[in-house]
Protein backbone atom coordinates (compact mmCIF):
# COMPACT_ATOMS: atom_id res chain seq x y z
CA UNK A 1 0.00 0.00 0.00
CA UNK A 2 0.99 3.66 -0.35
CA UNK A 3 2.87 5.45 -3.08
CA UNK A 4 5.57 2.77 -3.36
CA UNK A 5 3.11 0.07 -4.29
CA UNK A 6 4.75 -0.61 -7.64
CA UNK A 7 8.06 -1.37 -5.95
CA UNK A 8 8.89 -4.50 -4.03
CA UNK A 9 10.02 -2.86 -0.82
CA UNK A 10 11.66 -5.72 1.03
CA UNK A 11 13.33 -3.35 3.46
CA UNK A 12 11.33 -3.95 6.56
CA UNK A 13 11.00 -7.71 6.23
CA UNK A 14 12.97 -9.88 8.50
CA UNK A 15 12.92 -13.64 8.35
CA UNK A 16 12.45 -15.43 5.09
CA UNK A 17 9.22 -17.39 5.10
CA UNK A 18 8.84 -17.43 1.34
CA UNK A 19 12.35 -18.84 0.97
CA UNK A 20 11.22 -22.12 2.46
CA UNK A 21 8.16 -22.10 0.21
CA UNK A 22 10.39 -21.86 -2.84
CA UNK A 23 13.09 -24.12 -1.41
CA UNK A 24 16.04 -21.90 -2.24
CA UNK A 25 19.15 -24.00 -1.86
CA UNK A 26 21.89 -22.44 -3.92
CA UNK A 27 22.60 -19.07 -5.50
CA UNK A 28 25.11 -18.36 -8.27
CA UNK A 29 26.62 -14.91 -7.67
CA UNK A 30 28.48 -13.33 -10.57
CA UNK A 31 31.29 -10.89 -9.84
CA UNK A 32 33.30 -10.80 -13.05
CA UNK A 33 35.61 -7.85 -12.53
CA UNK A 34 36.59 -8.09 -8.88
CA UNK A 35 36.90 -10.94 -6.40
CA UNK A 36 35.37 -11.08 -2.94
CA UNK A 37 38.78 -12.38 -1.83
CA UNK A 38 40.45 -9.04 -2.62
CA UNK A 39 41.25 -6.32 -0.10
CA UNK A 40 38.78 -3.49 -0.70
CA UNK A 41 39.95 0.09 -0.97
CA UNK A 42 42.12 -0.11 -4.06
CA UNK A 43 41.87 -0.95 -7.75
CA UNK A 44 38.42 -2.30 -8.59
CA UNK A 45 37.80 -3.61 -5.08
CA UNK A 46 35.46 -1.57 -2.93
CA UNK A 47 31.97 -1.61 -1.53
CA UNK A 48 30.74 -4.25 -3.97
CA UNK A 49 33.29 -6.74 -2.66
CA UNK A 50 32.24 -6.04 0.92
CA UNK A 51 28.59 -6.32 -0.10
CA UNK A 52 29.10 -9.74 -1.70
CA UNK A 53 31.14 -11.14 1.21
CA UNK A 54 28.69 -9.90 3.83
CA UNK A 55 25.48 -10.97 2.10
CA UNK A 56 26.87 -14.34 0.92
CA UNK A 57 28.11 -15.21 4.40
CA UNK A 58 24.76 -14.38 5.96
CA UNK A 59 22.79 -16.23 3.31
CA UNK A 60 24.91 -19.31 3.96
CA UNK A 61 24.19 -18.94 7.69
CA UNK A 62 20.51 -19.10 6.74
CA UNK A 63 21.06 -22.36 4.91
CA UNK A 64 21.38 -21.09 1.32
CA UNK A 65 24.70 -22.00 -0.29
CA UNK A 66 26.39 -19.31 -2.37
CA UNK A 67 28.85 -19.83 -5.20
CA UNK A 68 30.59 -16.68 -6.40
CA UNK A 69 32.08 -16.72 -9.89
CA UNK A 70 34.92 -14.29 -10.50
CA UNK A 71 37.66 -13.90 -13.09
CA UNK A 72 40.95 -15.58 -12.23
CA UNK A 73 43.62 -12.90 -11.96
CA UNK A 74 46.58 -15.17 -11.21
CA UNK A 75 47.69 -18.59 -12.36
CA UNK A 76 48.30 -19.51 -8.69
CA UNK A 77 44.62 -19.36 -7.78
CA UNK A 78 42.94 -22.71 -7.12
CA UNK A 79 39.74 -23.36 -9.12
CA UNK A 80 37.69 -22.80 -6.00
CA UNK A 81 38.18 -21.40 -2.51
CA UNK A 82 35.89 -21.68 0.50
CA UNK A 83 35.42 -18.11 1.69
CA UNK A 84 33.22 -19.12 4.62
CA UNK A 85 31.13 -22.20 5.41
CA UNK A 86 28.64 -22.48 2.56
CA UNK A 87 30.31 -19.77 0.46
CA UNK A 88 32.56 -20.86 -2.41
CA UNK A 89 34.52 -18.59 -4.73
CA UNK A 90 34.99 -20.12 -8.18
CA UNK A 91 37.79 -18.76 -10.36
CA UNK A 92 37.01 -18.64 -14.05
CA UNK A 93 39.83 -18.39 -16.60
CA UNK A 94 38.94 -15.62 -19.05
CA UNK A 95 41.77 -13.79 -20.72
CA UNK A 96 45.29 -13.24 -19.41
CA UNK A 97 45.56 -13.46 -15.62
CA UNK A 98 47.30 -10.18 -15.03
CA UNK A 99 47.27 -6.66 -16.39
CA UNK A 100 43.79 -6.79 -17.84
CA UNK A 101 41.95 -3.60 -16.93
CA UNK A 102 38.22 -3.35 -16.35
CA UNK A 103 37.78 -1.53 -19.67
CA UNK A 104 39.23 -4.58 -21.47
CA UNK A 105 36.85 -7.02 -19.81
CA UNK A 106 33.89 -6.69 -22.22
CA UNK A 107 35.96 -8.61 -24.78
CA UNK A 108 36.37 -11.46 -22.26
CA UNK A 109 32.71 -11.85 -21.37
CA UNK A 110 32.18 -14.69 -23.83
CA UNK A 111 35.10 -16.63 -22.32
CA UNK A 112 33.83 -15.92 -18.81
CA UNK A 113 30.29 -16.97 -19.68
CA UNK A 114 31.59 -20.20 -21.23
CA UNK A 115 33.46 -20.94 -17.99
CA UNK A 116 30.36 -20.33 -15.86
CA UNK A 117 28.09 -22.44 -18.09
CA UNK A 118 30.60 -25.30 -18.18
CA UNK A 119 30.91 -25.26 -14.39
CA UNK A 120 27.14 -25.54 -14.08
CA UNK A 121 26.97 -28.26 -16.71
CA UNK A 122 29.20 -30.46 -14.50
CA UNK A 123 26.58 -30.30 -11.73
CA UNK A 124 23.25 -32.05 -11.34
CA UNK A 125 20.46 -30.31 -13.30
CA UNK A 126 18.85 -27.51 -11.30
CA UNK A 127 22.00 -26.85 -9.28
CA UNK A 128 21.28 -23.13 -8.91
CA UNK A 129 17.91 -21.64 -7.99
CA UNK A 130 18.76 -18.06 -8.89
CA UNK A 131 21.60 -16.08 -10.42
CA UNK A 132 22.56 -12.71 -8.89
CA UNK A 133 24.85 -10.53 -10.98
CA UNK A 134 26.81 -7.57 -9.65
CA UNK A 135 27.78 -4.68 -11.97
CA UNK A 136 26.79 -4.58 -15.62
CA UNK A 137 29.61 -6.85 -16.86
CA UNK A 138 28.27 -9.66 -14.68
CA UNK A 139 24.74 -8.77 -15.74
CA UNK A 140 25.65 -9.61 -19.33
CA UNK A 141 26.82 -13.06 -18.18
CA UNK A 142 23.77 -13.52 -15.95
CA UNK A 143 21.43 -12.74 -18.81
CA UNK A 144 22.64 -15.80 -20.70
CA UNK A 145 22.89 -17.99 -17.59
CA UNK A 146 19.26 -17.15 -16.79
CA UNK A 147 18.09 -18.33 -20.17
CA UNK A 148 20.24 -21.47 -20.15
CA UNK A 149 19.44 -22.54 -16.60
CA UNK A 150 15.81 -21.47 -16.49
CA UNK A 151 16.25 -19.51 -13.26
CA UNK A 152 15.58 -15.84 -12.51
CA UNK A 153 18.25 -13.18 -12.88
CA UNK A 154 18.56 -10.72 -10.02
CA UNK A 155 20.88 -7.83 -10.81
CA UNK A 156 22.57 -5.13 -8.74
CA UNK A 157 24.15 -2.33 -10.78
CA UNK A 158 26.29 -0.79 -7.97
CA UNK A 159 27.02 2.15 -10.28
CA UNK A 160 25.22 3.37 -13.38
CA UNK A 161 27.06 4.97 -16.31
CA UNK A 162 24.35 7.56 -16.98
CA UNK A 163 24.41 8.69 -13.36
CA UNK A 164 28.19 8.72 -13.25
CA UNK A 165 28.47 10.67 -16.50
CA UNK A 166 26.06 13.30 -15.22
CA UNK A 167 28.31 13.97 -12.21
CA UNK A 168 31.80 13.77 -13.67
CA UNK A 169 34.67 15.28 -11.76
CA UNK A 170 37.04 17.63 -13.62
CA UNK A 171 39.37 15.55 -15.75
CA UNK A 172 37.43 12.31 -15.25
CA UNK A 173 36.63 10.35 -18.39
CA UNK A 174 33.01 9.60 -19.22
CA UNK A 175 31.86 6.00 -19.27
CA UNK A 176 31.55 4.75 -22.87
CA UNK A 177 28.27 4.35 -24.75
CA UNK A 178 28.90 0.61 -24.97
CA UNK A 179 28.52 0.39 -21.19
CA UNK A 180 25.28 2.39 -21.27
CA UNK A 181 23.91 0.02 -23.90
CA UNK A 182 25.09 -3.01 -21.90
CA UNK A 183 23.37 -1.66 -18.77
CA UNK A 184 20.15 -0.98 -20.66
CA UNK A 185 20.14 -4.57 -21.89
CA UNK A 186 20.66 -5.97 -18.41
CA UNK A 187 17.93 -3.72 -16.96
CA UNK A 188 15.54 -5.01 -19.63
CA UNK A 189 16.47 -8.67 -19.16
CA UNK A 190 16.75 -9.00 -15.37
CA UNK A 191 13.82 -10.37 -13.38
CA UNK A 192 14.62 -8.20 -10.37
CA UNK A 193 16.81 -5.11 -10.03
CA UNK A 194 18.19 -4.42 -6.58
CA UNK A 195 18.61 -0.74 -5.67
CA UNK A 196 20.25 0.51 -2.46
CA UNK A 197 17.87 3.42 -2.05
CA UNK A 198 14.75 5.00 -3.47
CA UNK A 199 17.03 7.45 -5.34
CA UNK A 200 18.77 4.58 -7.14
CA UNK A 201 15.42 2.92 -7.84
CA UNK A 202 14.23 6.14 -9.49
CA UNK A 203 17.43 6.34 -11.54
CA UNK A 204 16.81 2.83 -12.83
CA UNK A 205 13.20 3.65 -13.64
CA UNK A 206 13.68 7.13 -15.10
CA UNK A 207 17.08 6.89 -16.79
CA UNK A 208 16.99 3.21 -17.78
CA UNK A 209 13.24 2.68 -18.22
CA UNK A 210 13.26 -0.16 -15.69
CA UNK A 211 9.86 -1.69 -15.03
CA UNK A 212 9.03 -0.39 -11.51
CA UNK A 213 7.54 -3.77 -10.62
CA UNK A 214 10.98 -5.34 -11.00
CA UNK A 215 12.80 -2.90 -8.74
CA UNK A 216 13.53 -4.03 -5.21
CA UNK A 217 14.89 -1.54 -2.68
CA UNK A 218 17.29 -3.26 -0.31
CA UNK A 219 19.52 -1.05 1.84
CA UNK A 220 23.03 -2.35 2.48
CA UNK A 221 24.36 -2.97 5.97
CA UNK A 222 27.33 -2.42 8.21
CA UNK A 223 29.37 -4.89 10.23
CA UNK A 224 28.64 -3.65 13.75
CA UNK A 225 30.87 -6.30 15.29
CA UNK A 226 33.90 -4.93 13.49
CA UNK A 227 32.97 -1.25 13.41
CA UNK A 228 32.33 -0.36 17.04
CA UNK A 229 32.85 2.88 18.94
CA UNK A 230 36.18 2.90 20.71
CA UNK A 231 38.77 4.97 22.51
CA UNK A 232 39.85 7.85 20.25
CA UNK A 233 43.02 8.52 22.24
CA UNK A 234 44.11 4.88 22.01
CA UNK A 235 43.40 4.80 18.26
CA UNK A 236 45.46 7.95 17.77
CA UNK A 237 48.33 6.58 19.84
CA UNK A 238 48.34 3.39 17.74
CA UNK A 239 48.47 5.46 14.56
CA UNK A 240 51.19 7.73 15.92
CA UNK A 241 48.91 10.77 15.93
CA UNK A 242 49.05 13.47 18.61
CA UNK A 243 46.21 13.17 21.15
CA UNK A 244 44.99 16.76 20.64
CA UNK A 245 45.18 16.80 16.86
CA UNK A 246 42.21 17.75 14.69
CA UNK A 247 41.94 14.66 12.51
CA UNK A 248 39.97 14.60 9.24
CA UNK A 249 39.91 11.36 7.25
CA UNK A 250 39.09 10.26 3.73
CA UNK A 251 38.68 6.49 3.24
CA UNK A 252 38.21 4.91 -0.15
CA UNK A 253 39.62 4.28 -3.55
CA UNK A 254 41.63 7.22 -4.82
CA UNK A 255 39.75 8.25 -7.93
CA UNK A 256 38.25 11.48 -9.26
CA UNK A 257 34.69 10.34 -8.52
CA UNK A 258 35.52 9.93 -4.82
CA UNK A 259 36.95 13.47 -4.75
CA UNK A 260 39.64 13.23 -2.05
CA UNK A 261 40.91 16.49 -3.59
CA UNK A 262 37.87 18.26 -2.13
CA UNK A 263 38.99 17.35 1.39
CA UNK A 264 42.56 18.46 0.65
CA UNK A 265 41.35 21.79 -0.76
CA UNK A 266 39.02 22.26 2.21
CA UNK A 267 41.91 21.60 4.60
CA UNK A 268 43.98 24.24 2.78
CA UNK A 269 41.02 26.63 3.12
CA UNK A 270 40.78 25.89 6.86
CA UNK A 271 44.48 26.66 7.26
CA UNK A 272 44.13 29.90 5.29
CA UNK A 273 41.32 30.99 7.61
CA UNK A 274 42.97 29.80 10.81
CA UNK A 275 46.75 29.53 10.41
CA UNK A 276 47.16 28.45 14.07
CA UNK A 277 45.38 25.21 13.12
CA UNK A 278 48.49 24.06 11.24
CA UNK A 279 49.96 22.85 14.53
CA UNK A 280 47.06 20.47 15.07
CA UNK A 281 45.50 19.56 11.73
CA UNK A 282 46.00 16.05 10.32
CA UNK A 283 44.31 14.86 7.12
CA UNK A 284 44.41 11.10 6.63
CA UNK A 285 43.91 9.80 3.10
CA UNK A 286 43.37 6.03 3.28
CA UNK A 287 43.13 3.87 0.17
CA UNK A 288 44.83 2.96 -3.07
CA UNK A 289 44.71 3.95 -6.74
CA UNK A 290 41.67 2.95 -8.75
CA UNK A 291 39.58 3.16 -11.87
CA UNK A 292 40.52 5.31 -14.79
CA UNK A 293 42.59 7.43 -12.44
CA UNK A 294 45.50 5.12 -11.70
CA UNK A 295 47.53 8.30 -11.74
CA UNK A 296 45.30 9.92 -9.12
CA UNK A 297 47.49 9.37 -6.08
CA UNK A 298 50.26 11.20 -7.93
CA UNK A 299 47.85 13.94 -9.01
CA UNK A 300 46.60 14.17 -5.42
CA UNK A 301 50.14 14.35 -4.06
CA UNK A 302 50.90 17.11 -6.59
CA UNK A 303 47.82 19.01 -5.42
CA UNK A 304 48.86 18.57 -1.78
CA UNK A 305 52.28 20.00 -2.64
CA UNK A 306 50.84 22.85 -4.71
CA UNK A 307 48.49 23.86 -1.87
CA UNK A 308 51.34 23.72 0.64
CA UNK A 309 49.61 21.18 2.89
CA UNK A 310 52.18 18.40 2.65
CA UNK A 311 52.86 18.72 6.38
CA UNK A 312 49.27 17.95 7.35
CA UNK A 313 48.24 15.27 4.81
CA UNK A 314 49.22 11.66 5.50
CA UNK A 315 48.62 8.87 3.03
CA UNK A 316 47.91 5.35 4.31
CA UNK A 317 47.62 2.22 2.14
CA UNK A 318 44.31 0.30 2.04
CA UNK A 319 43.51 -1.00 5.51
CA UNK A 320 41.82 -4.29 6.38
CA UNK A 321 38.65 -3.99 8.49
CA UNK A 322 40.08 -4.05 12.03
CA UNK A 323 42.76 -1.48 11.14
CA UNK A 324 40.17 0.59 9.33
CA UNK A 325 38.06 0.75 12.49
CA UNK A 326 41.08 2.29 14.22
CA UNK A 327 41.29 4.99 11.53
CA UNK A 328 37.59 5.81 11.91
CA UNK A 329 37.92 6.01 15.70
CA UNK A 330 40.98 8.26 15.48
CA UNK A 331 39.21 10.77 13.24
CA UNK A 332 37.15 13.73 14.43
CA UNK A 333 35.31 13.66 11.14
CA UNK A 334 35.24 11.31 8.17
CA UNK A 335 34.66 13.19 4.92
CA UNK A 336 32.83 11.56 1.99
CA UNK A 337 33.03 14.23 -0.73
CA UNK A 338 32.13 11.93 -3.67
CA UNK A 339 30.65 13.40 -6.85
CA UNK A 340 28.36 10.42 -6.85
CA UNK A 341 27.83 7.47 -4.53
CA UNK A 342 25.16 4.82 -4.97
CA UNK A 343 25.32 4.37 -1.20
CA UNK A 344 28.64 4.94 0.59
CA UNK A 345 29.49 2.12 3.00
CA UNK A 346 32.38 4.13 4.42
CA UNK A 347 29.89 6.65 5.79
CA UNK A 348 28.01 3.92 7.68
CA UNK A 349 31.19 2.29 8.98
CA UNK A 350 32.55 5.59 10.33
CA UNK A 351 29.27 6.32 12.11
CA UNK A 352 29.18 2.79 13.54
CA UNK A 353 32.57 3.67 15.10
CA UNK A 354 31.05 6.80 16.64
CA UNK A 355 32.57 9.26 14.18
CA UNK A 356 30.43 11.93 12.53
CA UNK A 357 30.50 12.14 8.74
CA UNK A 358 30.50 15.17 6.50
CA UNK A 359 29.23 13.94 3.15
CA UNK A 360 28.22 15.28 -0.23
CA UNK A 361 24.47 15.53 -0.72
CA UNK A 362 24.49 13.07 -3.62
CA UNK A 363 23.11 9.60 -4.43
CA UNK A 364 22.58 7.42 -1.38
CA UNK A 365 24.59 9.55 1.04
CA UNK A 366 21.51 11.41 2.36
CA UNK A 367 20.27 7.98 3.47
CA UNK A 368 23.62 6.89 4.85
CA UNK A 369 24.04 10.11 6.87
CA UNK A 370 21.30 11.69 8.99
CA UNK A 371 21.87 15.38 8.23
CA UNK A 372 22.30 17.42 11.40
CA UNK A 373 21.93 14.32 13.57
CA UNK A 374 24.83 11.93 12.83
CA UNK A 375 26.73 14.22 10.47
CA UNK A 376 26.31 16.94 7.90
CA UNK A 377 25.47 16.95 4.21
CA UNK A 378 27.09 19.53 1.95
CA UNK A 379 25.66 20.70 -1.36
CA UNK A 380 28.28 20.91 -4.09
CA UNK A 381 32.03 20.58 -3.75
CA UNK A 382 33.27 24.11 -3.15
CA UNK A 383 36.23 24.04 -0.74
CA UNK A 384 34.84 26.99 1.24
CA UNK A 385 31.55 25.16 1.90
CA UNK A 386 33.46 22.03 2.84
CA UNK A 387 35.83 23.92 5.11
CA UNK A 388 32.85 25.49 6.91
CA UNK A 389 31.10 22.15 7.40
CA UNK A 390 34.27 20.40 8.57
CA UNK A 391 35.06 23.23 10.99
CA UNK A 392 31.53 23.15 12.31
CA UNK A 393 31.96 19.55 13.36
CA UNK A 394 35.67 19.16 14.03
CA UNK A 395 36.28 22.44 15.86
CA UNK A 396 33.17 22.51 18.05
CA UNK A 397 33.63 19.75 20.61
CA UNK A 398 30.08 20.04 21.98
CA UNK A 399 28.45 19.75 18.57
CA UNK A 400 30.82 16.98 17.52
CA UNK A 401 30.02 15.03 20.70
CA UNK A 402 26.30 15.34 19.96
CA UNK A 403 26.70 14.01 16.41
CA UNK A 404 29.10 11.30 17.60
CA UNK A 405 26.59 10.15 20.18
CA UNK A 406 23.89 9.75 17.51
CA UNK A 407 26.11 8.18 14.86
CA UNK A 408 26.26 4.53 16.06
CA UNK A 409 22.48 4.41 16.51
CA UNK A 410 21.94 5.67 12.98
CA UNK A 411 24.40 3.11 11.62
CA UNK A 412 22.71 0.29 13.53
CA UNK A 413 19.58 1.05 11.54
CA UNK A 414 21.36 -0.84 8.76
CA UNK A 415 22.29 -4.49 9.01
CA UNK A 416 23.79 -7.06 6.65
CA UNK A 417 21.49 -9.66 8.21
CA UNK A 418 18.47 -7.69 7.05
CA UNK A 419 20.09 -7.08 3.66
CA UNK A 420 20.65 -10.82 3.19
CA UNK A 421 17.15 -11.65 4.38
CA UNK A 422 15.61 -9.09 2.00
CA UNK A 423 17.65 -10.46 -0.90
CA UNK A 424 16.54 -14.01 -0.13
CA UNK A 425 12.94 -12.83 -0.05
CA UNK A 426 13.50 -11.14 -3.40
CA UNK A 427 15.08 -14.30 -4.83
CA UNK A 428 12.19 -16.43 -3.64
CA UNK A 429 9.61 -14.03 -5.10
CA UNK A 430 11.52 -13.90 -8.38
CA UNK A 431 11.76 -17.70 -8.46
CA UNK A 432 8.02 -18.03 -7.81
CA UNK A 433 7.15 -15.51 -10.54
CA UNK A 434 9.62 -17.11 -12.92
CA UNK A 435 8.15 -20.58 -12.43
CA UNK A 436 4.63 -19.21 -12.81
CA UNK A 437 5.58 -17.47 -16.07
CA UNK A 438 7.14 -20.68 -17.41
CA UNK A 439 3.97 -22.60 -16.53
CA UNK A 440 1.69 -20.07 -18.18
CA UNK A 441 3.88 -20.15 -21.31
CA UNK A 442 3.43 -23.91 -21.59
Which parts of this chain interact with ligand UDP (CB under 6 A)? 40-41, 46-48, 50, 251-253, 286-287, 318-319, 321, 324, 343-346, 349
Closest separation in Å from C-beta 44 to ligand UDP: 9
CA 326, 40, 267, 224 torsion-angle sign: negative
Phi, psi of 163 (to 5 degrees): -70, -45
Q: Compute the least distance from the CB of residue 274 to ligand UDP, in Å.
A: 29
Nearest to 201 by CA among 245, 163, 169: 163
Least separation in angstroms between CB 49 and ligand UDP? 7
Q: 40 or 293, CB closer to ligand UDP?
A: 40
Label residue 350 exposed, middle or buried (CB < 10 Å: 0-12, 13-18, 19+): buried
Residue whose CB is nearest to ligand UDP in the complex, by number: 46
As measured in angstroms, the least distance from the Cβ of 348 to ligand UDP is 8
**Cα 20–Cα 23–Cα 26 angle in degrees, nearest 5:** 120
Mention every residue, 6+ apart, whose C-beta is less than 8 A from residue 121.
none
Calculate the CA dihedral of residues 102, 345, 332, 312 and round it to 10 degrees: 0
C-beta closer to ligand UDP: residue 43 or 152 = 43
Q: How far is the CB of 343 from ligand UDP (least distance, A)?
A: 6
Of 46 and 182, which has the nearer Cβ to ligand UDP?
46
> 90: part of which helix (H) or strand (E)?
strand 87-92
Residue number with CB closer to ligand UDP (359 or 430)? 359
Give the CA count within 13 Å in the CB-facing half-sphere of 105.
Answer: 27
Shortest distance, position 115 Cβ to ligand UDP, whole Å? 26
Nearer to ligand UDP by C-beta: 50 or 431?
50
Distance in Å, CB of 389 to ligand UDP, minimum: 19
Distance CA 216, CA 199 (A): 12
8 A C-beta contact, residue 221 and residue 419: yes
DSSP H helices, 73-133, are: 109-121
Compare residues 228 and 274 and give the one whose CB is closer to ligand UDP: 228
**CB of 73 or CB of 255, closer to ligand UDP:** 255
Amino acid sequence: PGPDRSLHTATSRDGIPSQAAHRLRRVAVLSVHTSPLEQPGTGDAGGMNVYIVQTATRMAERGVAVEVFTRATSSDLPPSVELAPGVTVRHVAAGPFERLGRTELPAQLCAFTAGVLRAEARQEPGHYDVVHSHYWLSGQVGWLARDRWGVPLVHTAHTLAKVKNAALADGDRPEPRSRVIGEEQVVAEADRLVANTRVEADELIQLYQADPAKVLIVPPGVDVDRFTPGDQAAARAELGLPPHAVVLAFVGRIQPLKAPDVLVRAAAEMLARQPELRERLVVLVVGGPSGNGLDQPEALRALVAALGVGDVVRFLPPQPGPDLARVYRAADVVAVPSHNESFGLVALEAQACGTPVVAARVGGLPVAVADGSSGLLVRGHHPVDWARALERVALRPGYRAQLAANAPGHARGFSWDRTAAALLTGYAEAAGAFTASLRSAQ
